[in-house]
Amino acid sequence: MDIIANYSFELVLLAGLFGFLMAWGIGANDVANAMGTSVGSKALTIKQAILIAMVFEFAGAYLAGGEVTSTIRKGIIDASYFVDQPHILVFGMISALLAAGLWLLLATYLGWPVSTTHSIVGAIVGFAAVGVSTDAVTWSKVGGIVGSWVITPLISGVFAYIIFMSAQKFIFNTKDPLANAKRYVPVYMALAGFILSLVTIKKGLKHIGINFSTNEAMLLSIGVAIIVALFGIVAIKRLKVDPAADKKMHYASVEKVFAILMVVTACCMAFAHGSNDVANAIGPLAAVVSIVDNGGEIAKKSILAWWILPLGGIGIVAGLALFGRRVMATIGQGITHLTPSRGFAAELAAATTVVLASSTGLPISTTQTLVGAVLGVGMARGIAALNLGVIRNIVISWVVTLPAGAGLSIVIFFTLKGIFAPS
């Protein structure tokens, strides 16, 4: 307790700095891959993607990032082990933030799309298992995360394959692709409106005290879907193309329709991502601030200090704007060649997987979801359409993330312990 009282300002300052670094890493890595499909398919330029993400990610993080957050991240560690030594939990959370932030910056520099959730979880597991006790870690939760490495990309890949192949069958491989686009694209728009509004309602609004039951959320999302479909019908009817033009011109016109759709999906995914993943940075930070403010008492829930959400939102935006291009290039261009229709299929599949995972409690990485969806779209065109070298590097980076976060966290934890609590 004396350590927390004597070094309260220094500990909160370190947690704030490293929380900002972690948010920066989330912006540079996670947000970049959420926007990568839009940039890779040429639906948006890099500057446009960055501007959209800056607005919607910050809005999601600040407006729907959570007034209350769990101090022990996703139940990965058992708080009872720290009741008599709360300063150890403070050191651990600070270590986890710095370790995960450093790993994300390295991965981003190398162009690897890794999971920010897995980075922070690995870091928390590292300090708890080595610095406290292996029993302090809920290993079943960790097992679920490892299992999600396979399950998440597989589910989103299958969805993306189905969505893309349906577009090929009903629109692109027909005698009159533009006429069929006018018929079927509003259906895709309705599906996108339904899934993305469901993501936003389920993962965003609950954080600002607006709670809907599952049935209410479904009804609201159906309403949004109908409005979006009607808007699509009106917009596509205005699309004028010379009937005598060749099929290439018709294909180009259809892709323009999908490009507009991609802008909508990108905005919604950015908002939902900001509301959800900012917790990876502010969760451990909130834990430190709560313990220091309460004089060492570890509370299960804590009201966020007013400055924490803006710190997370600004960090995400700064990371994306200054360091996000590398991962955008990997997702948008490195795995397979994307067009607006392929990018839309990938993004809609990723959003669908996020909704399903949220409702079933499956531990999920938005990064792995999107990479799996892009792979699914690539597979629809055959294995030759995939860059296997890039895919190999991505898979390696996923496997390395947990141990890398854990290893860095252990080193930093013992360093902090030596500085603030020399035995």
Exposure pattern of 23-48 as b/e (b: 16+ CB <10 Å)? bbbbbbbbbbbbbbbbbbbebbebee
Write down the pLDDT at residue 66. Answer: 56
Instruction: Scan for tokens 């309705």, then name that residue.
Output: 190
Using pLDDT thresholds of 50, 70 and 90, give the confidence band for residue 72: very low
Cβ(23)–Cβ(278) below 8 Å: yes
Most confident of the ranges 10-24, 142-156, 324-338: 10-24
Task: Please tell me the predicted confidence (pLDDT) of residue 261.
Answer: 81
What integer pLDDT is reported at residue 71 of this predicted model? 41
Each residue of 160-193: pLDDT tens digit? 999 999 988 998 888 888 788 888 888 888 888 8
Q: Residue 99: what pLDDT?
A: 97
What integer pLDDT is reported at residue 68 of this predicted model?
A: 40
Hunting for tokens 């890039």 — which residue is that? Answer: 390
140: Cβ contacts below 8 Å, ≥ 6 apart: none
Average pLDDT, the chain: 82
Cβ proximity of 277 and 116 under 8 Å:
yes
Q: What is the pLDDT of residue 240?
A: 67
Mean of pLDDT values over 21-25: 93
Residue 154 corresponds to which tokens in the numbers above? 């597989």
Least confident interval from 141-145, 180-184, 246-250: 246-250
Q: Taking a C-beta distance cutoff of 8 angstroms, is the pair 265, 198 a contact?
A: no
Between residues 360 and 158, which one has the greater pLDDT? 158
CA–CA separation, 28 vs 37, rounded Å? 15
Give the confidence band of 67 by pLDDT, cuts at 50, 70, 90: very low
**Residues in Cβ contact with 53 at an 8 Å cutoff, skipping those fewer than 6 apart:** 31, 34, 35, 266, 270, 317, 320, 324
Q: The tokens 């960790």 sit on which residue?
A: 142
